[in-house]
Structure 1
Amino acid sequence: MLIRELTGDDAERVARLRRVALGRSDPVEVRPGVRGLVAELGGRVAGALTIREFHQFWGGATVPMGGIGGVAVDPRARGRGVAGALLDAALRDLRERGQALSALHAAVPAPYRSRGWERAGVFEHLEVPLDRVPAGPRLATRPAEEGDAAALHACYCDLASTVDGMLDRGAPAVDARDVLGHDVVSVAPGHDGEVRGYLAAGRDDGVLRVRDLVGRDAATQLGLLGEVRRRAGSLERVSLRVTDPATTWLLTDRAIGFTTTTSAWLLRVVDLPAAVAARGWPAAEGLDAVVDLEVVDGHAPWHAGRRRLVVEGGRVRVEAGGSGAVRLHARALGPWFGGAQGGHALRRAGLLDGDARVLDRLVGAPGVPRLADFF
């Protein structure tokens, strides 16, 4: 089996493969910020995946993350280790390119969990009857213009930096101007060119689908919810992608009927020392501690073995050595790093042994990690 880099010449063949394997017809991209891998058997394309170069907020700091998507294997090649070989190659590629984490949305989690990815956060939508959306205070909004892209992105990042797991939507993988392509983009202006909030939405299958509803305060968010209601026209329902959990509270504290659709995304620590060094650790302030780890990871041997996690002077680092008193399986690293699961749950799942109290204290309880982007 040959694993190689995806090129533009592969686009048509890989697109056809994804239509057959996944029922997806989205184009295959090879551009700055987006790359891929192809598996060949007997000179024929047998599988492929795409890697997007993202940065993800953790503890208020951004950590380089490879977003894996479009994993497809030719049905005739299944059972021959194609998916596993692609994922192993992707892990090596991610580490070489400095992407210390990897996240993905998995329709079938088992192949990814066998390689160390594990559930670590949610991707959530709310569906609400439009006549039950609160009218909210009227805001002095205006349609977005081309020159608003940077201010909208800054408004989004101010929110996203406070919600663990969110992407920073930075270049080159994401163009800040993409938000302007939605059917409805309303801006709530602030002072000196600042944006207090914005709404990005579109109509699809008789539903108003809100991609982003971002507000710096409760009044702005409620006003934008009222804008959703007024923009709907003859539509009866709104589907709101949850960017900010505070919006959910504002919307649902009125005892209205709503449907929540939640899917889990998976996180993988690709390079533990690099991921720990890049992450923000607010709870490390005033804490001095050492945790001796034994990392069990057969697919990322570069960080496996005995490691020492050192908390000192408000900073956290991972170095070689230690007694291995706390044993962590590869699948435990993502849920622990993201704060999705504590030591007790990981121990009950057979993914951790030893005293994890310091590990739990470090990640604290900042809320459920979230993504508001699908890839």
Structure 2
Amino acid sequence: MARDQPPTVVEADEGLWAEYAALATRSYGHRLADITRLYDHADTRVGLRDGRVVAGGLGLLVPQFFGGRPVPAACMASGCVAPEERGHHLAAHMLDQRIHPLREQGAVLATLWTTSTGYARRHGWEAPTEVFTRTVPTDDLKRAFPVTDHEITHGASPATRALQHELAARHNGPILRPDWWDGWKQDKHDLATYRFHPPGQNPTGLVSLAFADHATEGTRLVVHDLWAADDRTAAAVFAFLGRHNSRIRTVEFQRTGLPPHPRPLHHLHRHGNATARSWHPWMLRVLDIPAAVRLRGWPDDVHLTLTLEVDGHDHTPPERFILRITAGTGETTPTDREPHIRLTRGQFAVWYAGGHPTPHAAAMAGVRGISHDLAALVRATTEREPWLPDHF
């Protein structure tokens, strides 16, 4: 098969998937353990050229919370193209082919973590929010957060699982974690989990952490999961982390490990000791606009009717539709009317995730419309902040 022709994409059996694991190791320069760990839970696809595996990846059909409701999503992970095959736009072709079976199974959104943000953006994806890893000295945490009366118990429980689901629904983006999710993360990172609860009450918080070697500090505490129902519980978690100061110099809140709020930096006595490192973000693509609008949750007090135009993708014409949101429901109707607001597909995805916090932010991102229409549109999705606490 000529290189200018795309490879044949097929569902991978165990033999083909073993070939893909070897290819991924050669492509990334290190072994990706998730390729084998997630095989039983994922849709696995590979690209074949002359009988050889030259590309592939896996997809997870899991819901993501938007507006408080779980929306079926295709979470794309562990994808790569053989180094000798690069330069022929094969990555975009493979991604579309990998999404297709998940879309047939009901996915109306697609999400991925990627370092190639510009490449993904050209194909209809966009990042709803920035992503940072934050590092804070344990001494500073100990000083800023006094010990509380919360009881701390090692290990997760059914109550913490229910708590995590409840708190996840307060943001736009978190996954409604399937039963196998926590075990996979536990094994992958060798996590220790602690639950926090006021005396005699159900848990109101949890934290999952691991220890990692550091070149200059010896050992660093790494937080992968942090959930708190209120500010007192958050303070209890930060106080607990600070009490590791006798042998750990810093706590690193991984890119998925610190919610948009509360921010421990607000309470530190010396802000200069804390650092933030920018990471590649998660990116969102809306596969089916009418279904995504219908399935998402909407604020009960928002009532709007606007005509939107969303630009086409891959040479398809723009879509024009009337967006109606009322009493917690949303729907779209195709129309030929002149639009109130014009967006790209990426801008629509950011708006859908609540990533335009103000009308000015939407306008600066390139969304076109007069100010009061933009204000009405933005208000519909900013009740919850975008956050994806799950890395895959």
Deviates more, 1:182-191 or 1:254-263: 182-191
Deviations 1:176-216 (A, max 9, x none): 68559845322224577721222221111110111223222
Matched, 1:240 2:253: yes
Q: 2:376 aligns with which of 347, 355, 358?
A: 358
Percent identity, please.
24
Which residue of the partner structure matches residue 274 of structure 1?
Answer: 291
Quote how far apart the aligned CAs of 1:50 are.
1.6
State how far apart, in whole Å, the 1-side matches of 2:365 and 2:225 are. 35
Q: 1:291 aligns with which of 306, 309, 323?
A: 306
CA contact (8 A) 1:88 1:299 kept: no
State how far apart, in whole Å, the 2-side matches of 1:348 and 1:235 are. 42
Deviations 1:148-168 (A, max 9, x none): 432111222222221222222
Residue segments in structure 2 that go unaligned for 5+ positions in a row: 1-6, 214-218
Distance 1:348 1:238, change over 3 A: closer
CA contact (8 A) 2:298 2:325 kept: no
Matched, 1:87 2:95: yes
Question: What is the one-letter code of the residue matched to 1:359?
Answer: L
CA contact (8 A) 2:302 2:380 kept: no
Matched, 1:144 2:154: yes
- Name the SS for the 1:212 alignment partner: strand
Q: 2:23 aligns with which of 6, 17, 20?
A: 17
CA contact (8 A) 2:65 2:173 kept: yes
Quote how far apart the aligned CAs of 1:311 are.
2.1
Distance 1:142 1:314, change over 3 A: closer
- Name the SS for the 1:262 alignment partner: strand
Which residue of the partner structure matches residue 237 of structure 2?
Answer: 224
Distance 1:131 1:347, change over 3 A: closer
CA contact (8 A) 1:123 1:371 kept: no
Instruction: With the length of structure 1 as denominator, give the TM-score of the two structures.
Output: 0.87
State how far apart, in whole Å, the 2-side matches of 1:138 and 1:347 are. 44
1:328-347 aligned at under 5 Å gives the runs 328-341=343-356
Distance 1:150 1:162, change over 3 A: same
Quote how far apart the aligned CAs of 1:85 are.
1.0
CA contact (8 A) 1:125 1:240 kept: yes
Matched, 1:312 2:326: yes
Q: 1:7 aligns with which of 7, 13, 20?
A: 13
Structure 1's consecutive aligned runs of 4 or more residues displaced over 6 angstroms after TM superposition are none
Quote how far apart the aligned CAs of 1:140 are.
5.2
State how far apart, in whole Å, the 1-side matches of 2:150 and 2:50 are. 62
CA contact (8 A) 1:21 1:73 kept: yes
Deviates more, 1:289-298 or 1:49-58: 289-298
CA contact (8 A) 1:69 1:105 kept: yes
Quote how far apart the aligned CAs of 1:269 are.
0.6
- Name the SS for the 1:153 alignment partner: helix
Counting matched residue pairs gives: 368
Question: What is the one-letter code of the residue matched to 1:23?
Answer: G
Quote how far apart the aligned CAs of 1:334 are.
0.9
Distance 1:215 1:290, change over 3 A: closer
1:6-45 aligned at under 5 Å gives the runs 6-27=12-33, 28-29=35-36, 30-45=38-53
Deviations 1:295-352 (A, max 9, x none): 3233496x96332212234321123334251333222221111121366555555565
Q: 2:275 aligns with which of 255, 259, 262?
A: 259
Deviates more, 1:304-313 or 1:347-356: 347-356
- Name the SS for the 2:147 alignment partner: coil
Deviates more, 1:70-79 or 1:127-136: 127-136
Residue segments in structure 1 that go unaligned for 5+ positions in a row: none
Distance 1:359 1:46, change over 3 A: same
State how far apart, in whole Å, the 2-side matches of 1:299 and 1:150 are. 45
Deviations 1:49-93 (A, max 9, x none): 221222222222221221112221111111223112112223433
CA contact (8 A) 1:149 1:176 kept: no
Which residue of the partner structure matches residue 115 of structure 2?
Answer: 107
Question: What is the one-letter code of the residue matched to 2:251?
Answer: V
Which residue of the partner structure matches residue 97 of structure 1?
Answer: 105
Deviates more, 1:263-272 or 1:116-125: 116-125
Matched, 1:321 2:339: no
